Structure 1
C-alpha cells in the first residue's frame, strides 16, 4: 500500500494494521508524501504514529524548520519534554528553536525561562509581530502586566489589533485593570468596538467602572452583558452587590432571583440575595441561606448570617436544629458562641458549656462574647470561671460596667 492509500484509509477511519503500514512507509523516497502522512496522523489525533513519521523526517532534514516544529510538537504531546529540549539544544540557535523551547518551558510552568527564550528570539527578529505577541502573552500569564501592556501597545502602534483571535486592545485594558489604574482601564475598554466585546470584556469593564467609583456605569454595563449573555453567572452576583450599594434592594433581589432561576446551586448568590431579603424583612431569604448551607455545610458566611438571624429572633430551637447536622469541625467559632447561648436559653448546660469552651480560644478578645460567657458562668455558679472572665473583660475595657 502506498502512502496516499494509507492517507485515504485514515480519512475513512479504516485503521486496521495502521502501525504496520506506517512502519512500511517510513523509508519511502517520497518525503513530501511522508510529511503529508504525518500531518494527517496528527490531524486525527494519532500522535504516536505521527511521532514515528516526524522522527524519521527529522533524521532526514534536521535543519528544516517545519519538520523540527512538528517533531518537537509530537515529543511534547508524548510528554517527552526532556527529549524535546535535548533535540533542540543540538540544533543551531534560530528564532524557531528559541520559540519551540519557550513553548516547552511554558507548558512546564517555567514562565521565567520561557520569557527569556522569547526575549532572545525578539533580539534576533524584533520586527516579527508573532514574537512580540508571544512575549506579551507570557508576561500577561505570568502576572507581569506593565511589561505585557507595553508589548501589546507595540503591536497596536504597528497597526496590529488582533493576533490568533486575541483582541489586543482587550488585553491592554485587562493589563491596566490588573495594575490598578482603573480610570485608564475604562478608557481602554471604551476603545473596543461593541462588535468585538466578549462577555469577559463587559464584565471586566464593569469592574473597572466599579473600582473607578462610577457605579451607575458599572450597573449599566452588567445589564448590557446579561442582555447579551444571560448565562454569565458572575455578573448576577456583582450586579446584586452594586444594586445593594446603591440601596436599590428590590432591584437587587429581582436580579438575584433571576440568576438563581438559572443556577439554583450558586451558593454565593443564594447568600447575598438571601441576606438582602432578610434586610427587607422577607423571611424567604432564610430559605436561601439554608439552601446555601445545604450545598456547602462549611460555608462560613451562610452559617454566620443564619446564626445571627436566629439569635436576633430568639429562635433558639431553630438555631440548634439547623446546626445539629453539621460537623463541629465545620462550625465557625462565632456560630459556636451563638449555639452556646442558644443551649443556655434552652437550659441545656452540657451543650452550652461545651460550645462556650470551644469558641473561647478564638473569641476571648471579643467583649460581647465574654459578656455572654461571664453571665453564663455566674448563672451556673462557676465562680472560678466567672472571675477569670471578669478579669479578661476589665483588660479589654477597664471602665466597663460589669456586675461583679
Structure 2
C-alpha cells in the first residue's frame, strides 16, 4: 500500500519517469492487491495503457472478476473503444457483486448510442437487484430527462431527494429544477432552484433560476438575478437578451436597450441581439438606430428573414420601396423562403409603379395569404387599379364572407359585378 501512495505522490508532483519506473516494478513483482490499487490510480491520472496492462495481467488469474472487468471497461471507454468495453462487461457473471455496476455502465453506453429503451432495461434490471440504491434512481432520472420524459424524470428525482441531495457531485435539487422547468412547471421549479442555490452556488444554476423566473412571468425576480449574474460573469453571453426581454416586459425600454448594448459588446456576432435591439430602438422612436441594428443583424446572416421583415416594415413606412426590394433580393439570393416577403415585394413594386411585377408577387403571395383579410384587401384594390375587375370582384366576394357587415366591400363588389 505504501508503494502505491509513493507512486501517487510522484504522479501528483509530475515526476513521471520515477512514477513509471515504479509502475514497471509493480507490474513485474507486485502483489495482486498492489496491481489493482495501482490500476485505479493510473486510471485516475489518465494513464490508460498502463491501466489496461495491469488489469489484463490480473485477469489472466481472475478472468471473471467483476471489479476488474468493470474498471477495464471504463478504461476502454476512455480510450474510445466501446466494443471492447461491452465485451468486457458481458463477461461479468450475473451473481458477481459488480454486476449492478456493470449494468449501470452498459446503460450509459446504450444511452450514448441513442438506444434509450435498452438503457432503461439495464437500469431497471439493476434496480431489481439493488432496490434501495439511490444512484440507480438518479441514473433513471437522468435518462428520462435526456429523453424529454420530464414527468418520469421528476418522479425519479423525488425518490432520490428523499435520501440525499447530491449524487456523484451532481446537485439533485438543480436537476429537479431543470426537469420541472423543462416540463413547464415553472413555479415548482423556482422552489428547487432556490434550494439548489442554497446547497451550492453556481452561475449556471443562477441563470436557470433567472430564466425560469422570466418564463413564470416574475420579471422583477428575473431582472434581479440576471443582473447578479452579469456582475459575477459579464461574459455569460446568454443572459443579455433575456435580461432585455425582462426589462421590456416591465416597460423599462431604456434599460432593455442598455442590456442589448452591453450584450453586443460581449458577443458582437450574435444576430439576435442586433435584431432585438432594433425592435427596442423602434419602440423608443429611434428609427435611424433601429435601421443600423437591423442591418447589422442582416450583415451577420444575410438570410435572416425575421430581421428583414422588421426592417422592411420600417423602410416601407418611410416610402423607401427600392430599399425594401434590395432587402428582399438579398434574402432571395440566400434561398430563404418567407411568404411575407412576397407580399412586401408586391406592395413595393406597386408603389414603384412596376405593375406587372407587383401582380406576379401578389399572385404568388395569394397562395399563402388567401385567408388573410389585410392581404385580400391590398390585393383587391390593386386589381381594381389594374382594371382586372372580374378578379377584383372575386377577391371582394371573399372579403364579404369574412366581414358581412362591411358596406364598403359590399358596394365595391356590387359595382364590380354590375359592370
TM-score interval, normalised by the smaller of the two chains: 0.7 to 0.9
Whole-angstrom CA distance in 2 between matches of 1:116 and 1:333: 47
The equivalent position to 1:222 in structure 2, one of 221, 226, 246, is 226
Q: Write the distance in 1 (CA, Å) between the matches of 2:248 and 2:70.
A: 54
Among residues 112, 123, 126, which one is paired with 1:118 in the alignment? 123
Residue of structure 2 aligned with 1:359, choices 347, 354, 365: 365
Partner of 1:137: 142
Per the alignment, do residues 48 and 67 of structure 1 end up closer, same or farther by CA in structure 2, a change over 3 Å counting? same
Deviation at 1:384, TM superposition (A): 4.6
Residues 217-366 of structure 1 mapped to structure 2, 5 A cutoff? 217-283=221-287, 284-327=289-332, 329-366=335-372
Q: TM-score, normalised by structure 2?
A: 0.80
Match of 2:105?
A: 100
**Kept after mapping to 1: 8 A contact 2:324/2:345:** yes
Paired residue secondary structure (1:191): helix
Following superposition, the deviation at residue 152 of structure 1 comes to 3.2
Give the C-alpha shift of residue 321 in structure 1: 2.4
| Runs of 5+ unmatched residues, structure 1 | none
User: Quick one: distance in 2 between partners of 1:152 and 1:322?
Assistant: 51
1:183 Cα offset (Å): 2.3
Unaligned runs of 5+ in 2: none
- What secondary structure does 2:196 align onto? coil
Deviations 1:222-256 (A, max 9, x none): 11121212222222111211211111111111111
RMSD between aligned alpha carbons? 3.4
Change (3 A) 1:350 1:50: farther
Alpha-carbon displacement from aligned partner over 1:324-364 (angstroms, at most 9, x marks no partner) = 32326315211221121111111223432332222221112
Q: Which residue pairs with 2:74 in the alignment?
A: 73
> Partners in 2 of 1:356 and 1:265 — Cα distance?
35
SS of structure 1 residue aligned to 2:331: coil
Query: Aligned partners of 2:214 and 2:41: how far apart in 1?
Result: 50
Inter-CA distance 257–312: structure 2 relative to 1 (3 Å threshold):
same
3-state SS of 1:227 partner: helix
TM-score, normalised with respect to structure 1 = 0.83
Cα distance change on mapping 1:260 and 1:353 into 2, 3 Å: same
- Give the stretch that moved more between structures: 58-67 or 316-325: 58-67
Quickly say closer, same or farther: Cα 1:396–1:254, change in 2 above 3 A: same
